[in-house]
Amino acid sequence: MLPPPCPFRVPAAPEPCPKRQEDPVAAPAAAARDAREADATRRAIELAARGLGSTSPNPVVGCVVLDTTGHPVGEGWHQRAGGPHAEVHALAAAGPAARGGTAVVTLEPCAHTGRTGPCAQALIDAGVARVVYAVADPNPQAAGGAAVLTAAGVDVAAGPLGAEAAEGNAPWLTAVRHGRPHVHWKYAATLDGRTAAADGTSRWITSAEARADVHRLRAASDAVLVGAGTARADDPHLAVRGVPGARQPLRVVVDTTGTAVPPGARVLDGTAATLVAVADDTPTGATTHLADHAEVVRLPRAAHGPGLDLTALLAALHRRDVRSLLLEGGPTLAGAFAAAGLIDRVTGYLAPALLGAGPQALNGAGITTIADALRLRVTDVDRIGQDLRISAVPVNAPVPKES
């Protein structure tokens, strides 16, 4: 017996839609525009980096203006806090050629009036027809520039190379998103991971070229931090040398008991400002000799283990407009930052030498099994003199994509 007919009517297959005819001119033109804007974004990222160390607490920003044919006619970068923003410099360089053109910016143009006027309005007044930005502004006080531009009839687009632009602005973005400075841990070690010999000597593990490169890192930072162990063993100076025009960073010593920075210590020489962080129960008499040479900040002790509460320390530095912190402390302080999940970037200088004994680069990070290892993504590997410089970020950091 035949089965009963299906109660549901199966619809006939629809007629295929006619194939859309691609505009033979529009597609290549759009691809060419995208390529020009990507090139301009790369250049803007390079320009933004010129502001490292001088714009804090503001972000570093670069801008390139393209004319109506897509050719660069003006560029600029934010050079110092309180000064004109990148867009203003680029528009001034472009002049009338900016009208009808495109502004390519590493960060969404601001929409608020602070020490300078809103960049979104400056772009509108210049007659720019299109704005491409790599990173949206997460700062609620300055965000909204894209909406202002769109309301004025400007074509606005989120551009390429967002991860690269964000990486260049990591200190500022960290401060806005987390309310603390971006922590960059720097260390120098032998290939077997020793930062000093068994007798405590460490000068010099790395080459003169590598040590000069460290001054470049200091110059790009708002503050340089060491702990009591490093202060006692090395009497570090922590100032920038050999970098023309560099702004001196704040020198910070974590000295829980108030005993690691004696009278005459090099960090008290007046070359740069100095802050000494001590425990809030440290006797007042332990720090009286610092009064004329450094700011003393009293902070709570860590809830577990020796040392200070690092969250409170970073909050104190953030209130002092520190957005980028270079951690040059020894293995104990570095381990405390690692255990607290407060390391945002690592740069290691590795010398072609072996010691076999002596302090390691990192101690007390609270890691007891390989499964708990702090995994990093290598971002750069460079030869500096005879040494290797390896830079890495935690694996949860955004990965730049090729464009």
The answer to whether 244 and 273 are in contact (CB under 8 A) is no
Asked if residue 163 belongs to a known ligand binding site, the reply is no
User: Is the same domain home to 233 and 183?
Assistant: yes
Q: 401 in a domain, yes or no?
A: no
Q: pTM, whole model, 2 decimals?
A: 0.86
Asked if residue 165 belongs to a known ligand binding site, the reply is no
The answer to whether 86 and 62 are in contact (CB under 8 A) is yes
Phi, psi of 125 (to 5 degrees): -65, -30
User: Is the same domain home to 82 and 197?
Assistant: no
User: Is the same domain home to 133 and 88?
Assistant: yes
Q: What is the pLDDT of residue 11?
A: 45
pLDDT-flagged residues of the chain (< 50): 1-11, 401-403
Asked if residue 256 belongs to a known ligand binding site, the reply is yes
User: Is the same domain home to 154 and 186?
Assistant: no
Q: What is the pLDDT of residue 402?
A: 46
Q: 9 in a domain, yes or no?
A: no
Tokens (6 digits) for 266:
């090099």
User: Is the same domain home to 164 and 209?
Assistant: no
Q: What is the pLDDT of residue 142?
A: 67
Last residue of some domain: 138, 170, 202? Answer: 170
Distances (CA, A) of 84 to 62, 64, 196, 356: 12, 15, 46, 53
Asked if residue 336 belongs to a known ligand binding site, the reply is yes
Catalytic residues: 87
Question: Judging by DSSP bridges, how do beta strands 72-77 and 62-66 pair with one another?
Answer: antiparallel
Q: ω into residue 398 within 30 of 0, thus cis? A: no
Tokens (6 digits) for 286:
């332990």
Question: Judging by DSSP bridges, how do beta strands 102-107 and 62-66 pair with one another?
Answer: antiparallel
Q: What is the pLDDT of residue 200?
A: 86
Q: What is the pLDDT of residue 8?
A: 38
Indicate which CATH number applies to the domain containing 142.
Answer: 3.40.140.10
**What domain range is 236 assigned to?**
179-394
DSSP letter (8 states) at residue 307: S
Question: Judging by DSSP bridges, how do beta strands 345-351 and 387-394 pair with one another?
Answer: antiparallel
